Amino acid sequence: MAKMTLEELRNLRSLKQSSLQKRSIEGKEGQIVIGMGTCGIAAGAKTVLDAFLSELDAQGITNISVTQTGCMGLCYVEPTIEVIVPNMPDTIYGKVDAKVVKLIVKEHLINHKLINDHLFDRPSADIYAKDGDK
């Protein structure tokens, strides 16, 4: 994109805000976000990323995007990921490895069930959270 003016920046922001709210990144319905700070990567986040890509492929799921983010702060249970899909609460999973990835795809994405023992709480509220937008 070329250099922006103030107005163009504001337009871009409102456009991206609504797509972030709907979570319809690149036209996909859901998102798997992998914590990829140095800490996450050291704990195996890259393996988890690869595992998700191949497992989604294997199950023929095409409407979920896989993206990265920084450290979520839950160092004791790295690698951590967040799953954001319609009709399910936004969910953070910790201590994820290739086996757990398979479980998440099968149970969370396909059967709409949360997974025992890997679920963790987001450590704080979002200062930008709007009403009705959890």
Partner 1 sequence: MAFRNYILVCGGTGCESSHADDIYKNLIAECEAQGVKDEVQIVKTGCFGFCEQGPIVKILPEDSFYVQVKPEDAKELISEHVIKGREVTRLLYDKEKSHKHAQVEEIDFYQKQFRIVLRNCGFIDPENIDEYIAREGYVGLEKALYEFTPEQIIEQVKISGLRGRGGAGFPTWMKWNFTKMSDNAEKFVVCNADEGDPGAYMDRSTLEGDPHSILEAMTICAKAIGATQGYIYIRAEYPLAIHRLEVAMKQAREYGLLGKNILDSGFDFDIEIRLGAGAFVCGEETALLQSIEGFRGMPQPRPPFPAVKGLWNKPTCINNVETWANIPVIMTKGGAWFQQIGTSDSHGTKVFALTGKIKNSGLVEVPMGTTLREIVFDIGGGIANGKEFKAVQTGGPSGGVITKENLDTPIDFGGLQKIGSMMGSGGMIVMDEDDCIVDVAKFYLNFTVDESCGKCAPCRIGGRSLLNILEKITTGKGTQKDVDNIHRIALAMQKGSLCALGQTAPNPILSSLKYFPEEYRAHIEDKKCPAGKCKKLITYTIDVDKCIGCTACARKCPVDAISGERKQAHIIDQSLCIKCGACLVACKFGAVNVN
Q: How long is the chain?
A: 134
Q: Which of 32, 49, 64, 74 binds partner 1 (CB under 8 A)?
A: 74
Give the one residue of 94, 96, 100, 105 binding partner 1; rule: CB under 8 A. 94
Stretch of 51-59, 72-80, 98-106 lying at the interface with partner 1 (CB under 8 A): 72-80
Helices (H), 23-115: 38-42, 45-58, 98-103
Asked if 37 is part of the footprint of partner 1 (rule: CB under 8 A), the reply reads yes
Q: Which of 22, 38, 57, 62 binds partner 1 (CB under 8 A)?
A: 38
Question: Does 22 participate in binding partner 1 (rule CB under 8 A)?
Answer: no
Taking the least distance from each CB to partner 1, the nearer of 17 and 62 is 17
CA geometry: angle 89, 30, 79, nearest 5 deg: 75
CA gap 15, 109 in Å, rounded: 27
Q: Are strands 81-84 and 119-120 parallel, antiparallel or unpaired?
A: unpaired
Strands of 4-121 (E only): list them: 30-35, 64-69, 81-84, 91-93, 119-120
Q: Report the interface residues with partner 1, using CB under 8 A.
A: 1-6, 9-10, 12-13, 16-17, 19-20, 33, 35, 37-39, 41, 67-77, 80, 82, 87-89, 94-95, 112-129, 134
